Amino acid sequence: MAAEAWMAALAMFADAQPAGFHRMGAHGTSVLVTGAPMSLLNGVFSVAREADADEVACFAAAPGLAAVTWSVQVRGEHVGHRIADTAARHGLDRRMTLPFMIKKLTEEDAGATGTSEPRVRRVAGAEGDTYRETMAAGYEGPAEIFTAFTLPAVMDHVSMSAYLAEAAGVPVATSFGVLVNDLVGVFNLAVPPPHRRRGYGRAATAAVLRDAYEAGARTAFLHASPMGVPLYLDMGFRTAENWTIFTS
């Protein structure tokens, strides 16, 4: 269910983009383009327990992928050679794994965050520039590549929530939540280097979980970077499985 919710969250994000699109096949495979200049946000994704190699190959030939940097993503670490060959034919010859983590939400997640620093608040599209600059600093990339995350259609979406953490009035972290039925996806956790290891990332993540629980979510899910795994484990997430990603 969490894997399907993750796909639904990405489809929701694509729908909010000016040129975004997605299409789902009969066997758990989707082709999705958000237009963001990031391979993990465009491509062919399978959320089936065992990816359908023919469907992956068919969707990998979608013309819309030619205009973006993209990836092939499937659940599990043991991927059939036909899928790996399909990825290679499209120049996606780098292979990596990402942990897919889940957490059952409880009343503890609904607890108040307190009044001490940092202050974490939900921000709307009107503050997109600040959110984008903070997120870019956290990921140590140019701000313009994060524009897709800060469009009003995204930040003001009824099922999406952007959060900004501030300490002494200075932005120190971002996070983002996407509600899909009674699940919530956690995205965009970013802490600029000067502000790391002070609990700001934890506070930004906790805000997503708190509001999602109050909105009816009972399970959280996310893909974790190696840097983020210790934090998420400490917050009660567990690794449900690893996913395999093919990129250029």
Cβ(202)–Cβ(237) below 8 Å: no
Torsion of CA 36, 41, 44, 48, to 10 degrees: -160
146 part of a folded domain: yes
User: Residue 214 has which token pair?
Assistant: 């109050």
The reply to whether 235 falls in a domain is no
Residues 204-219: what's their mean pLDDT?
98
Asked if the model's pLDDT at residue 138 lies above 60, the reply is yes
- Quote the domain boundaries for residue 124: 106-217
Per-residue b or e along 104-119, where b marks 16 or more CB atoms closer than 10 Å to that residue's CB: ebeeebeeeeeeebbb
* pLDDT per position as a tens digit, 46-88: 999 999 999 999 999 999 999 999 999 999 999 999 999 999 9
CATH number, domain with residue 112: 3.40.630.30
Q: What percent of the chain has pLDDT over 90?
A: 96
Reported confidence tier of residue 116, pLDDT bands at 50, 70, 90: confident
The CA–CA distances, whole Å, from 113 to 59, 131, 191, 193 equal 44, 20, 18, 23
- CA angle 168/164/146 to nearest 5° reads 125
pLDDT at 85: 98
The owner of tokens 């729908």 is 15
How many independent structural domains does the chain possess?
2
Q: Which residues pair with 244 in a beta bridge?
A: 74, 97
Q: CA 119, CA 46: separation in Å to the nearest integer?
A: 38
Q: How confident is the model at residue 206 (pLDDT cuts 50, 70, 90)?
A: very high
Q: What's the chain's average pLDDT?
A: 96
Kindly report, residue by residue over 30-49, the tens digit of the pLDDT: 999 999 999 999 999 999 99
* Contact predicate 237/222, CB 8 Å: yes
Pairing between β-strand 183-190 and β-strand 29-33 as defined by DSSP bridges = unpaired
**Which of 99, 121, 149 corresponds to the end of one domain?**
99
Instruction: Reply yes or no on whether the pLDDT at 113 is more than 90.
Output: no
Across the range 167-189, mean pLDDT stands at 98
Average pLDDT over residues 155-178: 98
Asked if the structure places residue 228 within a domain, the reply is no
Residue 112 pLDDT = 56
Assigned domain for 233 exists: no
Q: What's the pLDDT score for residue 115?
A: 55
pLDDT over threshold 90, residue 122 = yes
Say if residue 194's pLDDT is above 70.
Answer: yes
Is 135 in the same domain as 58?
A: no
